[in-house]
Copies of this chain bind each other. A is one copy, B any other.
Amino acid sequence: MSDAVPTRGHVDGHEPPAEGAAEPKRVGRPRQEATKLRILKAANAILEETGIAGFTIEAVAARAGAGRTTIYRWWSSKGALAVAGFLAETAPKIPYVPTGSAREQITLQLQRVAEVYSGATGRVLAALIAEGQRDPNTMDAFLEGFARPRREEGKQILLAGIERGELRADVDIEVVLDALYAPIYYRILVPLNPLTADTGAQIARQVFAGLTPEQD
């Protein structure tokens, strides 16, 4: 129904899957990738500097030198924009390093995560989760676009470790992943204790003490 505006996907600034594979030739004025990038960078920068409090569509538009309408055309809500900015800027900062034992891999990863999240990125993450409490779509985009795939990676590492006999087999993997990663989120969101670079290592040591087949 209706004629409405962009026939494209309207959730996170990505085009719809399309049928062929690539269809670079469309009809009208093409989307300006530079503007898209400026908007995403502006969104991320504002989240880093002011958290969710200062994150308004107007502020992002002003900082990006774009029109508010342009933002509304491509992102369906504040939350969608925030998630898109986060995925574009931050998500690539934390790769897994697939080498060594499960414990080594997880520990290293946990250290990296703690280090990155202890700074500006942590503020963005906290803002994102806060916004997610307000808007289910935002939470969903965050879960499917970031949290779930990351968790899946961790799960595979732990499973491989169990397979190789490095870890006890009688554990609930989801519970273990929570024990490992939840503290980092907790320290970001509920700042009773600071999150520092070696918080990750401390947590890993503690949790793996309950995972090794024999006593350490």
Q: Which residues of A come within 8 Å of B, CB atoms?
A: 51-53, 126-127, 129-135, 139, 142-143, 147-148, 151, 171-172, 174-176, 178-179, 181-183, 185-187, 189-193, 199, 202-203, 206-211, 214-215
Copies of this protein chain in the complex:
2
Which residue of B126, B185, B206, B210 is within 8 Å of A172 (Cβ)?
B206
Majority SS at the chain A contact face: helix
In the complex, which residue of chain B has the Cβ closest to the Cβ of A212? B210
Interchain residue pairs with CB less than 8 A apart (19): A127-B133, A129-B130, A129-B189, A130-B133, A139-B191, A147-B190, A147-B192, A148-B192, A171-B206, A174-B193, A175-B199, A178-B183, A178-B186, A179-B206, A182-B182, A182-B183, A185-B185, A206-B210, A215-B215
Chain B hits for A189, CB < 8 A: 129, 132-133, 185, 189
Which residue of B148, B191, B211 is within 8 Å of A143 (Cβ)?
B191
Q: CA of A191 to CA of B174 in the docked complex: distance in angstroms? A: 12
Q: CA of A181 to CA of B191 in the docked complex: distance in angstroms? A: 14
Q: CA of A26 to CA of B18 in the docked complex: distance in angstroms? A: 73
Q: Is the CB of A206 within 8 A of B176?
A: yes
Chain B hits for A133, CB < 8 A: 51-53, 126-127, 129-130, 189
